[in-house]
Amino acid sequence: MEKKNLFTHIHEMETQMGQLHGDLAELKMIVKELLEDNQRLTIENEQLRKLLKREAPADLPISSALAPVARPAGPATGEDVVGEGYDNLARLYHEGFHICNVYYGHLRTEGDCLFCLSFLNK
């Protein structure tokens, strides 16, 4: 090989290695995000299983405990609809989920959320 071709070949290899390094860094970030999502979903799944076991009667199978319960709609039932909704949101918050408009439905992993608390105090 000529000296010029050798230098060109080394430069091409260096460029390819840089591209591979960039691809590897990108794959590393994707794997990191997937692992974080997996961990978050595992924690959420465990909490939901605990909640389901706590709320489901022991003699009913889990599938029947998940079935929706038919309730009459509207204020004719004699219950305060606003109070019931507030109670449901408060229950969701105490079970570890966000009820604020910013993170609604996401698992709370770092303690109390000021947005959720301000929403509950309205």
CB neighbours (10 Å) of residue 113?
Answer: 19
- Residue 44: what residue type? E
Average pLDDT for runs of 10 along the chain of length 122: 85 96 95 90 88 71 46 46 76 85 82 84 78
Query: How far, in Å, CA of 88 to CA of 90, rounded?
Result: 5
Structure tokens at 76: 């004719």
Amino acid at 25: A
Strand partners for 97: 107
The whole-angstrom separation of Cα 15 and Cα 8 is: 11
The predicted pLDDT at position 8 comes to 92
Q: What is the pLDDT of residue 70?
A: 43
| Per-residue pLDDT, 110 | 80
